[in-house]
Structure 1
Amino acid sequence: MAQSRKADERYLTKDERELCDSARQPALKEMKHEELVDLAKRLRERRNRARDVSRDQRRTARRGGKATEGETGSDRKKALLAAGMKRVNRELDRRRAENRGDAATANLRKALKRKQANQWSGPAYRNADEGLNPTPNAKIAPSGALNAEGQRPVLERSRKVR
């Protein structure tokens, strides 16, 4: 069941709340690339810390100890920070894909301009209508007579009953 934002905020500190709020969509589109990378780094650090705390609590509980007071809900904190990181990474991927398309289009336009100006005719090693040069094999007879002679015993063996 989904929880409200207000219910989720009680698991986060003030700094973490600000990080998660800035990792939501209206704010993400307005950020510069460097700010997004920095936000992803800070979210990753906080998520890793929450993961380690949660792991330590589980280990303590397994060994018979009791959970430390004030650190309850660290699994939920980790999930909230991971969700924020996921949104930031998705925005970074979207921007990379957008830039990749722009760069490819620009390269294609440059190539088309060169081709239209006839400055580029393709690689120098490509020559039309010449094909491969034949290389004669000096080990065989030029007439192919040996091949026919070599076939005769094979054909005779195949006709006999084995």
Structure 2
Amino acid sequence: MAIETRAERRLLSRDELELVALTRRAEITAVADAELRKTVGLLRERRDRARTIARQQRREMRGKAQSASPATDNSGSKMKARVLSGAIQRANRELSRRQVVAARQELVSSSRRALKLKKAARKPAIPDGGQTTSEGMAPKPSKKTKQIGSPMEAGRVSQFVKDAQARKDARD
């Protein structure tokens, strides 16, 4: 349930009313981060004081507190605390929104920087010129496949296998 501005003016003092007015939609966007944090701190102090007074009045109404003039109603202090709590919620919501925007901007800037670095890394290096005439003659690499082992060893193994197969065939 929203509280009317007229009721706020009745419940709050002039400086508290100015603090609450700073948290309204039109004014809160123009307030700097540091000033908004300071405002939240002041609002919390005022809200805590209003809660304490409401608690004392409630104790007086039940007859548990010793006072010269016992309170008959604590609804004003409760409403004041509620108005200040609403202002704190609006200010905290704006602070968290600003943090999200700042984090998003930081992410975008770091992503752009990473993309720039990635594109710079993709640029081809200057290719090697290959063989040049100024260094004299250079041997061309051979395109033949290299043999494994010596041809003499290959012949010996082949002959051994032939002889072993012939002996096996003779037995059968």
Q: TM-score band, normalised by the shorter chain? A: 0.5 to 0.7
| 1:43 to 1:99, Cα distance in 2 relative to 1, 3 A | same
The aligned counterpart of 1:84 is 87
Answer with 1 or 2: which has the greater Rg: 2
TM-score w.r.t. length of structure 2: 0.62
Shift of 1:14: 1.2
TM-score w.r.t. length of structure 1: 0.66
Q: Secondary structure in 1 aligned to 2:12?
A: coil
> Which has the larger helix fraction?
2
Q: How does 1:50-65 map to 2 (within 5 A)?
A: 50-63=50-63
The aligned counterpart of 1:108 is 111
The aligned counterpart of 2:39 is 39
Shift of 1:39: 0.8
Q: Secondary structure in 2 aligned to 1:118?
A: helix
CA distance in 2, matches of 1:34, 1:68: 41
What is the one-letter code of the residue matched to 2:18?
A: E
What is the one-letter code of the residue matched to 1:26?
A: A
Point out where structure 1 has 5 or more consecutive residues left out of the alignment. 120-162
CA distance in 2, matches of 1:37, 1:77: 21
The aligned counterpart of 2:71 is 67
How many residues end up aligned between the 2 structures? Answer: 118
CA RMSD of the aligned region, Å?
2.1
Whether 1:97 and 2:81 are equivalent positions in the alignment is no
Structure with larger RCO (C-alpha < 8 A, sep 6+): 1
